[in-house]
A = this chain, B = another copy of it.
Amino acid sequence: MPPFGVAVVGAGYWGPNLVRNFATSPLWRLRWACDFNTERARAIVRHLDDVRVTADIADVLSDPDVAAVAIATPAATHTELALACVEAGKHVLVEKPLAATAADGVKVVEAAAAAGVVLMCDHTYCYTPSVAKIHELTHGGELGDIQYVDSVRINLGLIQPDVDVFWDLAPHDLSILDFVLPPEAAPLSVAAVGADPVNAGRSCVGFLAMPLLNGGIAHIHVNWLSPTKIRKTVVGGSRKMIVWDDLEPSQRVSVYDKGVDVVDAPEDARTRRLVSYRVGDMIAPALVETEALQNVVTEFADAIRSGRPPRTDGWAGLRVLRMLEAATRSTEAGGQAIALTTEREGSTP
């Protein structure tokens, strides 16, 4: 089967990575690099044969050899570009966030559904071997009931000029949560607390608490002001528990055969006898170090070919958007919990 033609739109921070991965994939044939700054577009495909450069998205959309478009422009432009692509019958891969608002996100998702094209969100972390392994454990039953997720993503990071720390860093954690939490542990609401101790004009430190449908809880700590860099997520289950430390290349994922069992309904809460503890071996599964983005472009091609939704489709992007919007509303409401609607793909958003 011949490769699909693809165009990369946006030659900024992420564009070169998309170029590299489409260019080296046998499933794809890179046709265009598109950026309003054609110098920049030219620079990222200079070493490649037969890739054209343009500032005009119309050149891309009118090319019958282009089956799909990857959008890596600033978030504010995602909706307009994605709708144009969908209208032209092109499959679309969008960087996070899917759109600037959930309302816009709904438009894009509905348009893609109506047009019958694949809409995929580039939630890159969901395609790392680590998160794939966590997904396998949470969905395969090995972890048991999800009791809590605690995710820490902190460092001395760039204070962004246009978004706060929630919108800058939490999309990673939220897209991972959305991917690894099974339906019975879906988040119910978001309570967010932020702080701006450096007077930057927006939250630089943020905490998100999200009660889960099954009685568990998810919590996220994002921070631009930390002296040390931490990328660590713990997933506690009733059977096993996972620690994912993304800065520990030799042992990213550790699976602990540990747990607590409360044997009885705690009628007599004054005794400890009802609780038992289990401490078994820890296993750090061998993970093949692959580039996540290569898996993204493969999944995109497979979804187009087979007509199935990709692993991180428009609905996933929309759910992440809704959690971010809830976080913003919660901080504005003094940390009050904001309920989430929890539709899954197939239902009307």
Contacts and interface: CB of A to CB of B under 8 A. Distances in A.
A225 B148 contact: yes
Contact of A198 (B198, B261, B283): B261
B195 A262 contact: no
A176 to B, nearest CB: 18
Contacts of A46: 47
A229 interface: yes
A134 to B, nearest CB: 14
Contact of A217 (B197, B216, B251): B197
Given A198-B261, A262-B200, A243 B215 contact: no
How many identical subunits does the complex contain?
A: 4
A114 interface: no
A156 interface: yes
Contacts of A271: 161
A161 B270 contact: yes
Chain A interface residue count: which class? 35 or more
Contacts of A250: 228-229
Contacts of A242: 227
Interface stretch (A124-132, A307-315, A334-342): A334-342
A160 B147 CA distance: 18
Interface stretch (A25-33, A62-70, A79-87, A272-280): A272-280
A103 interface: no
Contacts of A1: none
Contact of A272 (B148, B159, B275, B279): B159
Given A162-B270, A217-B195, A243 B227 contact: yes
A23 B276 CA distance: 30
Given A209-B335, A270-B162, A337-B334, A147 B198 contact: yes
A101 to B, nearest CB: 19
A108 to B, nearest CB: 25
A207 interface: yes
B199 A269 contact: no
A265 B199 CA distance: 7
Interface string A312-336: 0000000000000000000000111
A227 to B, nearest CB: 4
Given A199-B215, A243-B227, A269 B159 contact: no
A238 interface: yes
A87 B216 CA distance: 48
A284 B284 contact: yes
Interface string A137-166: 000000001111010000010111110000
B283 A281 contact: yes
A256 B283 CA distance: 10
Interface string A184-207: 000000010111111111101101
A282 interface: yes
Interface in A256-306: 256-258, 260-262, 265-266, 269-272, 275, 277, 279-286
5 contacts: A161-B271, A194-B217, A195-B211, A226-B241, A335-B337
